[in-house]
């Protein structure tokens, strides 16, 4: 396969946010996307465990039966609305338009970039957040292997870009805090990566309840087992290994990389950590939202 022309392109700006070049082409398809009231969204800042919770949601929908999950890649079961690889793959909106309800929709969009009729449709949202330091490390490694994104440079250079919001989808700080506020007037289940890591059963029960599914201990056990990091790392339907290496090169860094809380300690120097903490305190001073950077 020859390299498509969106490979390693600089971010495109969409309404003030840095956006993946391939996704920004024909942005009207996002603005005009028809939400349905029965849609259920999984929204996250990138690298917060979206694939993990998407797989959990889809298993809950199917009462823990893995039959469909073993045959169909996650991006076709829980399509990412804004995703596009022109000339290579169908776009997220194309997958979604052809899906029967109730659909699961994945997105990383900040509040102001959502489709025009998103709020009117009042659909349920699961928002998943992960602590900023682990997101920065995971995003850095993702940019190294994901050729939809420009090269991240060194980790030191990347960390500066992360703090200033010069990464795809913009500022982590703005994303997690604005969705936290939105909880007050929209049906949002706000989850934390670290909580799921700590007690997957407890958190998956919350998702079941939110989705209106009856609690069944046996199905729950199957879901926990099927969505462990070890199981998902080996599962080609969720680990993105089916994508051509022209798009994602897992030999540089696998998509299912470490799957832990606290890996930032292997990356941040003492000086970087101090600077990051000082900046964090300022940016997060107005919110009640609290994160754990280890468990
Ligand atoms: P790391 O790079 O820290 O390993 P997203 O799906 O939003 O892109 O997030 C990807 C991150 O979630 C990666 O983090 C990946 O390893 C982690 N992840 C995916 N599945 C997981 C699971 N079942 N358990 C724990 N972490 C998981």
229 lines ligand 1 (CB under 6 A): yes
**Is the distance from the beta carbon of residue 138 to the nearest atom of ligand 1 less than 6 Å?**
yes
Percent of the chain with pLDDT over 90: 94
Shortest-distance Cα residue to atom 22 of ligand 1: 229
Q: Where are the domains of the chain?
A: 23-284
pLDDT at site 1 = 56
* The pLDDT of residue 103 is above 70: yes
User: Of the residues 69, 128, 138, which should be mutated to test ligand 1's pocket, given the most ligand atoms within 8 Å of the CB?
Assistant: 138
Tens of pLDDT, residue by residue over 238-256, are 999 999 999 999 999 999 9
Q: Domain 23-284, what fold? A: Rossmann fold (3.40.50)
pLDDT, one tens digit per residue, over 55-86 is 999 999 988 888 888 999 999 999 999 999 99
* Cα-to-centroid distance, 28 and ligand 1 (Å): 30
Say what the pLDDT of residue 108 is: 99
Average pLDDT over residues 252-262: 98
Kindly give the distance from the C-alpha atom of residue 233 to the centroid of ligand 1, in angstroms, as a whole number: 9
Pick from 6, 44, 3, 46: which is nearest to 23 by CA? Answer: 6
Give the residue-averaged pLDDT of 90-102: 97
Does the beta carbon of 259 sit less than 6 angstroms from any atom of ligand 1? Answer: yes
Active site residues: 108
Task: For residue 256, give the ligand 1 atom closest to its CA.
Answer: 16
Regarding the beta carbon of 177 and ligand 1, being less than 6 Å apart is answered no
What's the whole-number mean pLDDT along residues 156-171? Answer: 98
pLDDT at 86: 96
Q: Is 48 in the pocket of ligand 1 (CB under 6 A)?
A: yes
Question: What confidence tens digit (pLDDT) does each residue in 131-150 have?
Answer: 999 999 999 999 999 999 99
Nearest CA to ligand 1 atom 8: 47
Average pLDDT estimate for 27-33 = 98
pLDDT at 109 > cutoff 80: yes
Closest residue CA from atom 14 of ligand 1: 259
> What are 16-20's contacts with CB under 8 Å, separation 24+?
16/170, 17/110, 17/113, 17/169, 17/170, 18/165, 18/166, 18/167, 18/168, 18/169, 18/170, 19/168, 19/169, 20/148, 20/149, 20/168
Say if pTM beats, i.e. exceeds, 0.80.
Answer: yes
Mean pLDDT score, 279-293: 98
């Amino acid at each position: 396969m020859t390299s498509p022309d969106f490979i390693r392109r600089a971010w495109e700006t969409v309404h003030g946010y840095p956006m993946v070049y391939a996704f920004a082409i024909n942005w009207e398809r996002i603005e005009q996307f028809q939400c349905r009231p029965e849609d259920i969204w999984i929204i996250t800042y990138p690298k917060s465990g979206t694939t993990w919770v998407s797989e959990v949601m889809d298993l809950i929908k199917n009462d823990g039966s893995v039959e469909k999950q073993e045959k169909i890649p996650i991006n076709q079961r829980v399509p990412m609305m804004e995703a596009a690889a022109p000339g290579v793959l169908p776009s997220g909106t194309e997958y979604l338009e052809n899906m029967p309800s109730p659909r699961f929709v994945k997105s990383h969009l900040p509040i102001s970039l959502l489709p025009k009729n998103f709020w009117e449709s009042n659909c349920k949202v699961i928002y998943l957040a992960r602590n900023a330091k682990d997101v920065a490390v995971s995003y850095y490694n993702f940019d190294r292997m994901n050729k939809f994104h420009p090269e991240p440079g060194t980790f030191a250079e990347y960390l500066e870009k992360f703090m200033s919001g010069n990464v795809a989808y913009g500022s982590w700080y703005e994303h997690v805090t604005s969705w936290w506020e939105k909880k007050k007037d929209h049906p949002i289940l706000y989850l934390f990566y670290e909580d799921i890591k700590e007690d997957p059963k407890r958190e998956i029960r919350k998702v079941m309840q939110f989705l209106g599914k009856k609690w069944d201990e046996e199905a729950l056990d199957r879901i926990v087992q099927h969505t462990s990091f070890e199981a998902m790392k080996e599962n080609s339907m969720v680990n993105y290994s089916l994508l051509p290496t022209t798009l994602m090169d897992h030999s540089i860094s696998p998509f299912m990389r470490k799957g832990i809380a606290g890996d930032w300690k292997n990356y941040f120097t003492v000086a970087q950590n101090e600077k990051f903490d000082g900046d964090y305190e300022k940016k997060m001073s107005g919110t009640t939202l609290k994160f754990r950077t280890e468990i």
